[in-house]
Amino acid sequence: MSHAARKRRQRRSKGGATRIVLVLLVLLVLGIGGSAAAGVGYVVSVADSVDLDELDRVDPGAPSVVYAKDGTRLGYLPGPVLREKVKTTQMTDLVRNATVAVEDRRFYDHAGVDVEGVFRAATRNLTAGSNVEGASTLEMQLIRNLYTEDRTGSIERKIREAALAQQLEDRHPGRDGKTWVLTTYLNTAPYGTVGGQDIKGVQAAARVYFRTTAKKLTLPQAAMIAGLPQAPTQYNPYNNPEAALARRNDVIRRMAEQGYVTPEEAAEAQETKLGVKDGGTYYTTRRERFFLNHVRNVLKDKYGRKRVAQGGLKVYTTIDLKKQKLARKAMGDNLNPSAGDPSSAIVTLDPATGNIEAAASSQPFGSNQYDLALQGSRQPGSTYKTIVLTTALEQGISPSTSYPAPGRFTIPPPFCTGTDCSIKNFAGEGSKGGSMDLRTATLKSVNTVFMQLGLDVGMENVSKTARAMGITSKLNSYPSESLGSASVSPLEIARVYATISNGGMRVTPRAITKVVFADGDVKRPQPVRRTRAIPKDVASEVNRILQADMKGGTAAAADIGCPAGAKTGTTDGPTDVWLAGYTPKLSTAVWVGFPTGSKTIYSTTTAGGNIQGASVSAPIWKQYMQGAHGDFCGDFKGLVPFSGTKGTGKFASGAGTKSSDPSDTSGESSPGDATDGTTGGATNGASAGGTTTTASTGGAEPYPADSYESAPAAPAE
């Protein structure tokens, strides 16, 4: 033992060793827990062998609690212990006094070990011939709860607890120390179990048994709770209400005898019914359960399943409950699933941080196996064309480059070798022949142009750009992926458009801003991560084109009157309808469709019933974003000119301009009632990772027709 440790022990022993010896010797002589033959030496030896400073404090446990962006509690994650730590001022004096009355009536008079109480208990036990009364003080019980967790009946345990209790008293002296001991005890004492979870602390007990808080407990309620720790199972009010009632009334009697309540108050309280309520749902009721599951999975990936199951974490998230409410209202106002309308999902990211500010689904939790917003996997249709356009611009192709724009285009060998390799434009755009520049083709969402463009820039490169901009789902680099046949989630599409909004920086979506552990340690499992995905001039040019699409292209119905860019998307049937768009501060993807299969979607709220283009996705996006953007209606900052040359691919028909200035709007004429293109739908396949590279003109492997989920669309009528 070190000299410092020896000196500490010597200081503790002054005025205390004699009392410990006396108390434990009485226990020995009366035969309670051991033999008297051990004598004083044994007692002193055991008492002198423990040092509170050398013991690690036990974590009493608590469920992990998750908070929204504004600090609102979303709910508790499942864990083995239900516990909420509260301050002294957050407890009623009734529960404090009831606990002292029944557990340690001389609590304010002794110094951790109650000599008088030991003699009294020893006398009763000797008379009864068995242990009918204990002599553990609140300090001794606290030592057991917080340090030793030893619940054996050995004499050695009692000696250790007595010695440690005096050390605890030395560490927390005076009236303030007593307040600390009592408050800590009430925050860690066991109060039974519910649903397989241990109830620890008076706050959790108040919630579970009476649907209230420790501050609002009435006298009968406080007395019932105070009577539980000595035998939580025996006095469980759900399983043994008669025993619980008798125990409660005994606690009230003791409170009256010790002057904590008047006889009249005691009599009135004893006449009341037990009055327990099933409050266990307080810890199981959760908001935004899909998002909570996502948060829980992030925590498991970062800290492991075992650590998350232990609980005790305070998790602060990015979800904005106001945006969640706006999202659900927008979906509910435009779709009626109970009448057969399709489902919908909305995801919003902050382009600067990647924060998931909204992730809402029209489907209630439990009605589907996965989260449509964050896990849904559907074909994005023409929203994917933005990735193809970005790939072309990064290869130096000008948006003024012209391509043939027939109403139907047959994919030539070696890109397709099946019997039906044709795709068409949704409304027959370009069916009269002629060419169209890429800017106009984007605003009109012309399938035949983008199929040729994808073949020219190389579908492997399109996949690499998709990866760079935030797509993580499986990609095959099939030609049909130019039209959005690969399955992705709304979260991924929102991430792609955030990359355009912020000038070409890919952000990592994050749901958690920080995690506070029980010991106060703060961790940030999802720091803000921004990675250059595409050059700033490319992002600026794509941004300008998509802003034009919002003003006069297929996304015009979603115009919110503030600077914004967007692109619509529709797949064959239609089975999936999208609108992905952004402002300088928000990137939002809206999906409409059925969660599984390829069922054609209709709307009871849309004229004619059939959903095409932006007929439903745009009104949802517009209604939501009109509220979500708040007071901010600023412009995009830092847009730079883009320089591009003519297209070098074999399908291009005309040269583009040398450069594009931010004020240049050539080729951005309004297409009027232009509608969105539809995909031919290809299967998912192997991914192509990495970053964007130089141009690749063709060179793809053959893609037989039977590799498609459904045949490419038939020629326009």
The reply to whether 457 and 519 lie within a common domain is: yes
Same domain, 274 and 339: no
Residue where the block lists tokens 């929102």: 494
pLDDT per residue as tens digits for the range 126-139:
555 555 455 688 99
Asked whether the predicted pLDDT for residue 196 surpasses 60, the reply is yes
Cβ atoms of residues 542 and 389 within 8 Å: yes
Mean pLDDT of 642-657: 71
Task: Summarize pLDDT for 300-314 with one digit per residue, the tens.
Answer: 999 999 999 889 999
Give the residue with greater pLDDT, 114 vs 507: 507
Of 230, 251, 18, the closest CA to residue 115 belongs to 18
Residue 289 resides in a domain: no
State what percent of residues in the chain have pLDDT above 90: 58
Report the range of poorest mean pLDDT among 47-51, 177-181, 439-443: 47-51
In a domain? residue 277: yes
Regarding whether 235 and 368 lie in a shared domain, the answer is no
Single residue among 229, 251, 282 that ends a domain in this structure: 282
- DSSP assignment of 87-130: -GGGS-HHHHHHHHHHH-TTTTTSSSS-HHHHHHHHHHHHHHTS
- Please state which of the ranges 147-151, 237-241, 691-695 shows the lowest mean pLDDT: 691-695
Confidence of residue 33 (pLDDT cuts 50, 70, 90): very low
The answer on 645 and 574 residing in a single domain is yes
121 assigned to some structural domain = yes
Answer yes or no: do 272 and 335 share one domain: no
- pLDDT surpassing 50 at residue 693: no
Structural domain contains residue 266: yes
Domain for residue 257, yes or no? yes
| Confidence at residue 536, expressed as pLDDT on a 0 to 100 scale | 97
Tell me which of 202-206, 409-413, 514-518 is least confident: 409-413
Start-end of H helices in 106-218: 115-128, 138-143, 155-171, 174-188, 202-210
What pLDDT does residue 676 have? 45
Query: Span 403-408, mean pLDDT?
Result: 91
Peptide bond into 241 cis (omega under 30): no
Phi, psi of 285 (to 5 degrees): -75, 125
Average pLDDT on 81-102 reads 96
Res. 524: pLDDT tops 90: yes
- CATH code (residue 582): 3.40.710.10
Model confidence at 167, pLDDT cuts 50, 70, 90, reads confident
Quick count: other Cβ atoms within 10 Å of Cβ 319?
27
Q: What is the pLDDT of residues 493-508, one digit of tens each?
A: 999 999 999 999 999 9
Q: What is the mean pLDDT of residues 653-659?
A: 54
Q: Residue written as tokens 């030991």?
A: 118
The model's pLDDT over 206-261, given as tens digits with 9 standing for 90+, comes to 999 999 999 999 999 999 999 999 999 999 999 999 999 999 999 999 999 999 99
Give the per-residue pLDDT at 432: 58
Indicate whether 211 and 333 sit together in one domain: no
Q: Which of 271-275, 433-437, 606-610 has the lowest mean pLDDT?
A: 606-610
Joined tokens for residue 679: 């995909």
CB 518 within 8 A of CB 312: yes
- Asked if residue 623 is part of any domain, the answer here is yes
- Tell whether the model's pLDDT for residue 34 goes beyond 50: no
259 plus 333 within the same structural domain:
no
Q: What is the pLDDT of residue 550?
A: 96
Shared-domain flag, residues 238 and 358 = no
229 and 91 in one domain?
Answer: yes
What pLDDT does residue 349 have? 98
Provide mean pLDDT across the span 666-689: 34
For residues 539-559, average pLDDT: 96
Average pLDDT, the chain: 82
Q: What is the pLDDT of residue 549?
A: 96
When divided into structural domains, the chain yields a total of: 2
Task: Determine the structural domain holding residue 221 and report its residue range.
Answer: 3-282
Please tell me the predicted confidence (pLDDT) of residue 698: 35
Residues 546 and 453 in one domain: yes
Query: Is the pLDDT score of 43 beyond 80?
Result: no
Q: Does the pLDDT of residue 634 top 70, yes or no?
A: yes
Greater confidence (451 vs 54) lies with 451
Residue of 690 and 134 predicted with greater confidence: 134
Domain match, 167 and 219 both: yes
Cα separation, 35 vs 31, in Å, equals: 6
**Domain boundary residue, one of 259, 282, 305:** 282
- As a whole number, mean pLDDT of residues 684-690 equals 29
For residue 9, pLDDT over 60 is answered with no
Do residues 269 and 342 share a domain?
no
Tokens of 479: 């030609």
Within a domain: residue 307? no
* 185 is a domain residue: yes
What CATH number is attached to the domain comprising 24? 1.10.3810.10
DSSP state of 478: -
User: 423 pLDDT band (50/70/90 cuts)?
Assistant: confident
Instruction: Note the pLDDT of residue 159.
Output: 78
- Report which secondary-structure segment, H or E, holds 565: strand 565-570
